[in-house]
Amino acid sequence: MRETLSKTRPAADWILTGASRLATLAPGVCEGATSTLGIVEAGALAAAGGRIIWVGRESELDGAVDRSSVAKDAWLDAGGRAVLPGFVDAHTHFVFAGGRANEFQLRHAGVSYEEIARQGGGILNTVRATRGASAHKLTVLARARLHSFAAHGTTTVEGKTGYGLDLATEARCLDVMDELAREPGLPRVIPTFLGAHTIPPELRDSPSGRDTYVDRVTNEMLPAFAGRARFCDVFCERTAFTVDEARRILVRARALGYALKLHANQLGPTGGATLAAELGAVSADHLDFATDDELRRLAAAGVTATLLPGCSFSLATAYPAARRFYDAGLRVALATDFNPGTSYCENMQMMLALAVSAMGMTLEQALHAATLGGAHALGLAQEVGSLAPGKQCDLIVLSGRDERELAYHFGVNLVAQTIIGAQPART
């Protein structure tokens, strides 16, 4: 009888028990799960081969899963603490050298971001440092940042190029991401090509410099990196690329097989959001100055709106009101925009706190945006972002019993343990 029973149950090679509250982000996964977060009281989870095979109440575990082959070190006792999906950070720039602390101080002394850029600072400062860094140095720096992402609960990280602005350095940054994506214990890395971040310094004084660089991105870099980067992104702003330039680059990228992203309407009403809707981008990011009409267009086109409150915090600018995005029917993601100039923070818990306190999100909305929303912004909603059978076993164990400590208890790391693919993360 026991042998027959074991054959009818899926075999697990990893088990989590002892969760006070298991926030699945998948309300239909367990009968009786509560709220839009799909909370399972006294929950448990089983995985095999790095993927979830069962989620439910711990009292039902033995009847649902064959755990006879689970090794002792593959059994995680949450110890009466809350468990939720790992954060999906869908907008970062984590491969770079150098720092810009001096610019942060200048901005808060009254010098604008745009003025710093006009004086050759901003992105160009990071470009100079990154071009001068070896692949080994960039790898060491980026690996340490991924450790920090994981320590704060992030299990999937999108990473953009854009601090090279030439073929060799952009390739070096993609090489770094590729190497780190294959290292065990680190967050999953999703590469994005952002060669169109700004005009490189060597072309700025040339009358034809803009056209020359757009040609290079379109005709040289995009073909060279096709298949190496999942997304192509463009910084569509007054200090960077126009709507027409962005359209040209993104249309070419789409023809080469890239999915599309767009930095849009961060610093002003540039029309980038309308372009993202026109091209059916996977996500449009920032959107601080998007109009109501643009938000409705994005929603109709199925574009995920990625909000980046770390930039508003760092730049001391007004936060976009989350209600406008939800009222327009948009799917919303939260991300750190980790970068050395305008959001030097790899902690998604900080973004949750800002989203709730400064943008008007409920905690449930913010947690959706930081997990499933981020997964949608990367086209990975079938793989990550919630705790449901078939998905990657990426989760975090908090230090307390209740996920509602997030945003409320701010300024500290509330993640006790991060699991990526049913393995402990390297933190």
Beta strands in 127-169 (DSSP E): 154-160
- pLDDT tens, 292-323? 999 999 999 999 999 999 999 999 999 999 99
Q: Which residue has the tokens 């962005």?
A: 246
- pTM: predicted TM-score of the whole model, two decimal places: 0.96
Q: Tell me, what's the pLDDT at 103?
A: 87
- pLDDT tens, 11-63? 999 999 999 999 999 999 998 899 999 999 999 999 999 999 999 999 999 99
- CATH node for 2-85+387-424: 2.30.40.10
In a 3-state reduction of DSSP, which class is residue 208? coil
Distance, first Cα to last Cα, the chain = 44
Q: Which residues pair with 75 in a beta bridge?
A: 15
What average pLDDT does the chain have? 95
Task: Enumerate residue ranges in the chain where pLDDT < 70.
Answer: 1-7
Residue 1 burial (CB count, 10 A): 5
Q: Tell me, what's the pLDDT at 7?
A: 60
Q: What is the DSSP letter of 171?
A: H
Please tell me the total number of residues recorded for the chain in this structure.
427
CB contact at 8 A, 342 and 317? no
Q: Tell me, what's the pLDDT at 115?
A: 82
d(CA 323, CA 367): 15
Q: Tell me, what's the pLDDT at 2?
A: 41
CATH 3.20.20.140 fits 88-377, yes or no: yes
Tell how strand 39-48 and strand 87-89 pair up: unpaired
Element (H, E) at 190: strand 188-196
Q: Tell me, what's the pLDDT at 5?
A: 44
Q: Tell me, what's the pLDDT at 4?
A: 41
Question: What sign does the CA torsion over 139, 143, 146, 148 have?
Answer: negative
List the domain boundaries for the chain. 2-85+387-424, 88-377
